[in-house]
Amino acid sequence: MRRVVITGIGAITPLGKDAAATWQNLLKGESGIDLIKSFDTSRHTVKIAGEINDFHPEERIAPKTLKRLDRCVHLCLWAASEAIEDAGIEFEKYDPDRLGTIIGIGIGGLHTWEAEHTKFINKGPSRVSPFLIPMMIPDMTSGYVAIQWGLKGPNYTTVSACASGAHAIGDAFRAIKYGDADVMVTGGSEASITGFALAGFSNMRALSRRNDDPKKASRPFDKSRDGFVMAEGAGILILEELEFARKRHAHIYAEICGFGATGDGYHITAPAPEGEGARRAMHRAIREAGCNVEDIDYVNAHGTSTPLNDKLEAIAIKNLFGAHAKNLVINSTKSMIGHSLGAAGAIESVVCLLSMKDQKVHPTINLEEPDPECAGLDLVPGKAKEVKIKYALSNSLGFGGHNVALCFRKFT
């Protein structure tokens, strides 16, 4: 089987409009969560989110194209531009049939859907945009990446709720490993902070209601956590077959060496008892990587700040790793940027790669009194720490019982 490496990364999050800014703010323990500014929340129970403010997509997207794309595609193209530039790859030099893209989206063009549905109700069918469908459907993220850069290899979108971005990366890894492509642009994007979506998540009581203290609302593994915080963003990775990357003298961040995907077959939102689906996903990723559980140094947890998820993910880690669990370094990126749904696994993969590059991990903020169910794990409370990382896991667990673990190895 062919080896697959990561040669470029890009991200846009509530903590920064590129991967470097996001990473530096994570290391400092900054929070990107605040009161929502993009719409009136006076009638909403929840008033906080991880928004990306002062975003000007026209800096990278042509105005004519911009008007025909939803915000989730804007974010995707923005992060993809950064990742492609970071990789230093000129796609026009290579066979386009060997270049592909798989992007994960949890919900899709919700801004477009909400705006056009309002037109439909208030002004009638004739006023609905002819671009409604292509702007709304989730696959336009991968579609436009392919159009923008002339990629004619594998091209589709994964939709598996909060595991979507991680599923996309796993599928892209396999596309190269099994010989269907040499280069893949992959990751996830999401822009679902709208009044309609906020009401839906809030009414199912999935969200934190700490409106009086937004910076402390997302508190994974803490005893007083009361729900996740919605966020938006995108994370993109450039994956390449190892020899292809070597021939063009590319910089290599790390190797992706394992992908585990499982289903709970249990409940529409609650994880399976004892987190057994997450445990099996991690086990599969480690097995494909050809290493042992004792070789894993760092786990970027799904860590949503919801009561069930954090407890069961901690139990899954303890059950899989046994005595080695106490040696792991585990953190939650969502403590600072919130939960970006389909983009989360991709953004967190970018974080894993930067952690491996700098041999540092960011803190899990707001972890003031750990849940007793999560005791015995190093969850990096307080501040960043230096860690020797050879192998890292990134976990993503989605509504519907979708579980993904990605395994990365330090490249030498």
Element (H, E) at 265: none
Q: What are phi and psi of 120, to 5 degrees?
A: -60, -45
pLDDT at 190 over 90: yes
Say which CATH topology domain 259-409 has: Peroxisomal Thiolase; Chain A, domain 1 (3.40.47)
Catalytic residues: 162, 302, 339
Residue 378: predicted pLDDT: 97
For the cut 90, the answer to whether the pLDDT of residue 83 exceeds it is yes
Q: Can you tell me the distance from the alpha carbon of 169 to that of 163, in angstroms, rounded to the nearest whole number? A: 10
User: Within 10 Å of residue 130's Cβ, how many Cβ atoms?
Assistant: 8
β-strand partners of 236: 10, 187
Backbone angles phi, psi at 203, to 5 degrees: -70, -20
The mean predicted confidence, pLDDT, of the chain is 97
pLDDT above 90: residue 312: yes
Q: What is the mean pLDDT of residues 390-411?
A: 97
What is the predicted pLDDT for the residue at 337?
98
* 5 vs 82: CA distance, rounded Å: 17
211 Cβ partners below 8 Å, 6+ apart?
35, 46, 47, 48, 217
**Rounded to an integer, what distance in angstroms lies between the CA atom of residue 291 and that of residue 67?**
48
Tokens 């974080």 found at: 351
Domain residue ranges in the chain = 4-247, 259-409
pLDDT in tens, 67-79: 999 999 999 999 9
Name the β-bridge partners of 163: none
> What ranges in 206-333 are assigned the alpha helix state H?
242-247, 276-289, 307-321
Structure tokens at 233: 């963003």
Which residues lie closer than 8 Å to 261 by C-beta, 6 or more apart?
163, 167, 170, 281, 284, 402, 403, 404
pLDDT at 26: 98
Helix (H, G, I), strand (E, B) or coil at 213: coil
Same CATH fold assignment for domains 4-247 and 259-409? yes
| Cα gap 387→346, rounded to integer Å | 22
What are 227-243's pLDDT values in tens digits?
Answer: 999 999 999 999 999 99
Give the pair of three-digit tokens for residue 253: 């961040």
Residue 412: what pLDDT? Answer: 85
Q: Which CATH superfamily is domain 4-247 in?
A: Thiolase/Chalcone synthase (3.40.47.10)
| Cβ neighbours, 10 Å, residue 97 | 13
Q: Nearest-5° angle of CA 9, CA 11, CA 13?
A: 160
* Each residue's pLDDT tens digit, 10-67: 999 999 999 999 999 999 999 999 999 999 999 999 999 999 999 999 999 988 889 9
Quick: pLDDT tens for 243-256. 999 999 999 999 99
Q: How far apart are CA 232 and CA 346, in angstroms?
A: 12
Neighbours of 276 (CB within 10 A): 19
- pLDDT for the residue 297: 98
Is the pLDDT reported for residue 1 higher than 90?
no
Task: Tell me the per-residue pLDDT of 172-189, one tens digit each, with 9 for 90 and over.
Answer: 999 999 999 999 999 999
Which two tokens mark 276?
Answer: 């057994």
